[in-house]
Amino acid sequence: MHTLVWIDTNVKVAVESIAEIHKVPPSAVRQTVETALRIYSYLVKQEDYQLARSINFNCSMFLQDRILNLIFGDDIYLAANRLQEQGRFANHIALQLLKNLGGLSYRQLCALSVFMGVIWTSHKDVQQGFLANPGATLGRIDAQLNAQQANWCIDHIDLFLAEVGTDHQKPIVVILDDNGESVFDIALFQHLLNDTGTLEVTFVVNHYPISNNIALSTFQALLEDSYFADLKRYFEQGRGTLCVEKQAFRSFELAYLRPETRDAVNNSQATYIKGVNFFETFQLSNITRYHCFTVYGHTSMLLTGCPAGKGVFVKLPSGQTGYTYHSPEKIETLRDKVSRKEQCVAIQSVVSN
C-alpha cells in the first residue's frame, strides 16, 4: 500500500522544496533524489528483505526523513522545514476562519473539524495567499468546507454528542492531528466543557513538530489566544489536562506510548482520534473510540471501503477493530464492519420487540 512510487514522489517533493530555497540546479536535484531512494532501498532490502516485509507507514516515513536529514544536515534540512513557524501560522489562519464563522452548532463544529483535515493551512501556497489577501483565502476555505459538509461515508456525530456531551466519571481523551484542523477540535471540546459541569478532557500532543502535526509549542500558543480563554481556565482548574508524547512518527505507535498516555487512554470514557494516519496505524481495539477524518489516498480508501473525499466520524466500541487486513485482495473494511454491526443491532431490536 505504501508503494515505491509514492515513496519516490515524497522524496522528490521534499528535495525540490529544499532545492528551491538554495537554488540547486535540476541535475543536482535528480542526483540527490536518486541517492536518497538508493539508501532507502538498501536499508529495506538488507537481511533478505526483513524490513521490507514488516515496515509500516510510520517507520517508512521516519526512514525517509532521516535519510534527507543525513544528506542535507540539520542546518539546511531543519531550517527548510520550519515546522513550528508554519504550524503557528496554519493555526492562525484556521483560528481567523473560526472566529469569522461565528456561532456554530456542535454538528457544524464536528463536520468542520473533519473536512479541515484536507485543507492543509500549513501549505506554502495557502499561507502565501493568506498574506496577500486574507479575506479571499478565508472565503475560498469557507466555500470548500460548505461544499463538503454533507459528504459523509460514515456519520456517527449524533452518537458522539449523546455520549460525550454529558458529564462522566471518566475523562474523554483527545488525540489531535494536524495544525489547522486541530483548532476546530480544540474549539469543540472547549464548548463541551462550557456546557457540562464535571466533564474532564485530556489532550494528547507530540513534543516534537513532526510534519504538519500539532506539537506542544503550537498547542500552548493557541491557549494564549483570547478565543481559548475558557479552555485555559479549565486547565488551571484541572478539568483539562495534557499528555505529551515524544515520538518521531507521523502518527503515534502503540508500542512507544508513554505510560501516562496509555493509562489515560485505557481509563477514558472514550477516546477521540483525529486523522487518517491515526486510523491506519493506531488501532486501540480495547477501548471505545471515535475516529474522525476525511478519506484521502489509496490506503484509506482500501481500509475504509469509502471513496476519496468522504468524511468519516465513526464510533468503534471496545472489542471492535476498524479494519482487518489479510491481504490486498482480502480486507474487512471499516464500512463492512460498521454495516455488519448496524445489521446486528437492527436484528436484536426486532427480536426484543
Q: 125 in a domain, yes or no?
A: yes
Is the pLDDT score of 82 beyond 80? Answer: no
What CATH number is associated with residue 129? 3.40.50.10880
pLDDT at residue number 348:
56
pLDDT at site 52: 78
Q: How many domains does the chain have?
A: 2
176: Cα separation from own chain's centroid: 6
Q: How far, in Å, CA of 4 to CA of 27, rounded?
A: 22
- CB neighbours of 135 closer than 8 A, spacing ≥ 6? none
pLDDT in tens, 103-126: 899 999 999 999 999 998 998 899
Instruction: Determine the residue type at 194.
Output: N
Query: Do 64 and 101 share a domain, yes or no?
Result: no
pLDDT at 264 over 60: yes
Domain boundary among 31, 50, 81: 81
Residue of higher predicted confidence among 352 and 297? 297
Q: Are residues 77 and 89 in the same domain?
A: no
Mean pLDDT throughout 273-294? 93
> What's the mean pLDDT in 160-165?
92
Q: Are residues 53 and 139 in the same domain?
A: no
12 pLDDT above the threshold of 80: yes
Is residue 1's pLDDT more than 80?
A: no
Q: What is the pLDDT of residues 171-221, one digit of tens each?
A: 999 999 999 999 999 999 999 999 999 999 999 999 988 888 999 999 999
45 and 150, same domain (yes or no): no
For residue 176, is it within any domain? yes
Q: Is residue 189 part of a domain?
A: yes
Residue that is last in its domain, among 48, 81, 114: 81
Q: Are residues 74 and 216 in the same domain?
A: no
Question: How far are the Cα atoms of 113, 151, 168, 197, 329 from residue 295, in angstroms, in the given order?
Answer: 13, 11, 31, 35, 20
Q: What does the pLDDT read at residue 4?
A: 77
Residues 46 and 110 in one domain: no
Residue 53 located in a structural domain:
yes
Domain final residue pick, 50, 81, 112? 81
User: Are 14 and 94 members of one domain?
Assistant: no
Is residue 349 situated within a structural domain?
no
pLDDT value at residue 81? 62
Asked if residue 145 and residue 50 are part of one domain, the reply reads no
Residues 169 and 230 in one domain: yes
- Is the alpha carbon torsion for 219, 245, 194, 115 positive or negative? positive
Domain presence at residue 353: no
- The better pLDDT of the pair 85, 231 is held by 231
Mean pLDDT over each residue of the chain, to the nearest integer: 90
Provide the CB-side half-sphere exposure for 325 (13 A, CA).
14
pTM for the full predicted model: 0.87
Residues 66 and 213 in one domain: no
Mean pLDDT, residues 270-297 taken together: 93
Residue 94 domain-assigned? Answer: yes
Range of the domain at 324: 85-342
Which tops the pLDDT comparison, 84 or 310? 310
Task: Assess whether pLDDT exceeds 90 at residue 2.
Answer: no
**Does residue 175 sit in the same domain as residue 317?**
yes
273 & 337 share domain = yes
Assess if residue 347 is contained within a domain.
no
The pLDDT tens digits of the residues spanning 47-74 come to 888 887 778 888 888 899 899 888 988 7
